[in-house]
Amino acid sequence: MAEFLTSFAVLVGVYAVFALGLNVQWGYTGLFNIGVAGFFALGAYAAALLTIRPPLSAQGEDYLFSGDLARRMESIPVIGALDLWFLIALAAAAAAGGAVALAVGAITIRLRDDYLAIATLGIAESVRLVFLNERWLTNGSRGVYTIPPVFEGLVEPHNYDRVYLGIVIVIFAALFCLVRVLLRSPWGRALQAIREDEATAEASGKHVFRFKLQAFTLGAVIMSIGGALFAFNIRAISPQTFTPLLGTFIIWAMLITGGSGRLYGPIVGALVVWGIWSGSQFLPNILDALPAFIGDPLAGVLDALGLPNVRFFAIGVLMTLVLLYAPDGVTPWLSRLRERWARPPPPPTPTLALTSPPPGARSASSFPSHPIVIPA
């Protein structure tokens, strides 16, 4: 159980990085990017190709380029001992994603809403198909499966997930603090002004295109770093990993669930959505524990639909409920709940004690109710 929780926390952190980048683009700038899978793939493959060993033709490996960064730097005293090549791989992934985003954004960022969404989706599919068909570059559909682990000589294999969880937390915290500082600066306030009313922001002297391009590039850089973290966690990637459903839809579901435009929304959304995704694998065990007259029909439905379809259905139901009853996401609702529990109880209302009148005093009921007329 501890191993499952550790791997679960690692993937929550990785997907929180993706949602953080999407939050910069959509939540704070209003850029409708549904090509997240493209930057996901760019970051993963850039980091992987820079660190994998040379190809072996006897094993059917057709790619021509391999950086073999881990082996080349192992003789350097500090970098090799601490596996700092990992940071170089992350930087390369960020540079690849940022360069593509800058080139693509310069062409498509002027498109609005639906047109920008269609353009980014097409670009993401183009990236995936290039990785699928160009075997000389990425080994085609077989993928890349010799990605080296971080701290291979310093950490026992059974402790690798725990150490990698710490790495993911540190990198996410650094990205989170960077985004928080930027969004609270004049640059971030300009992005929010563009999101609320682009015409007014432009009339006030803001260079809307430049701000949008910067936000689009920053979000893509963060997503590419998330792709590299994903690659070093799984250590085997293929183009089938970066489909629109797994590489875009689930990340949008996390952001909507947590709350777009909310700083802590990506964390909450990743935890909730990935909790549903991962927890659904225990459905067969839960159904087996139920009485036969309840569990057997439900198990038949589960077998007929398939577990992946049930997962997507559950996430779709979650998004529908969030949009209907919590359109701002779960994060504001949790904040209100926390404030309600943290608020001290109100002081008791003072009450006046009713006492009997002293002996000889006249009660209010003994006074005449009719008006007293004083003669002139």
Q: Which amino acid is at 146?
A: T
Confidence at residue 296, expressed as pLDDT on a 0 to 100 scale: 73
Q: Which tokens hold the place of 48?
A: 């992987």
Region of residue 14 (left: phi > 0; alpha: psi -120 to 50; beta: else): alpha
Q: Could you tell me which of 277, 267, 266 has the C-alpha nearest to residue 313?
A: 277
Average pLDDT over residues 224-245: 93
Residue boundaries of the structural domains of the chain: 2-240
Tell which wins on pLDDT, 348 or 84: 84
Q: Could you tell me which of 148, 139, 115 has the C-alpha nearest to residue 33?
A: 115
Rounded-to-integer distance, Cα 28 and Cα 170, Å: 24
> Count of residues for the chain?
376
Confidence at residue 61, expressed as pLDDT on a 0 to 100 scale: 82
Average pLDDT over residues 273-282: 87
Q: pLDDT band at residue 63, thresholds of 50, 70 and 90?
A: confident
Query: Which long-range CB contacts under 8 A does 67-74 form with residues at least 24 apart?
Result: 70/148, 70/152
Rounded-to-integer distance, Cα 78 and Cα 85, Å: 10
Confidence at residue 211, expressed as pLDDT on a 0 to 100 scale: 95
Tell me what percent of the residues of the chain surpass a pLDDT of 70: 90
Average pLDDT over residues 69-97: 85
Tell which wins on pLDDT, 357 or 165: 165
Reported as a single tens digit per residue, the pLDDT across 178-197 is 999 999 999 999 999 999 98
Query: Which long-range CB contacts under 8 A does 322-328 form with residues at least 24 apart?
Result: 322/256, 322/257, 323/256, 328/259, 328/262
Confidence at residue 171, expressed as pLDDT on a 0 to 100 scale: 97
Q: Could you tell me which of 217, 178, 173 has the C-alpha nearest to residue 29?
A: 217
Reported as a single tens digit per residue, the pLDDT across 314-369 is 888 898 999 898 888 998 887 777 777 777 777 776 665 555 556 665 555 555 55
Q: Which tokens hold the place of 39?
A: 């930057």
Reported as a single tens digit per residue, the pLDDT across 250-270 is 999 999 999 999 999 999 999
Confidence at residue 364, expressed as pLDDT on a 0 to 100 scale: 54
Q: Which residue, chain included where needed, has tokens 């002004």?
A: 193
Q: Which tokens hold the place of 246?
A: 């797994």
User: Does residue 1 carry a pLDDT above 90?
Assistant: no
Confidence at residue 52, expressed as pLDDT on a 0 to 100 scale: 92
Confidence at residue 361, expressed as pLDDT on a 0 to 100 scale: 57
Q: Rounded mean pLDDT of the chain?
A: 86
- Which of the residue ranges 50-59, 69-78, 96-105, 252-261 would you say has the lowest mean pLDDT? 69-78
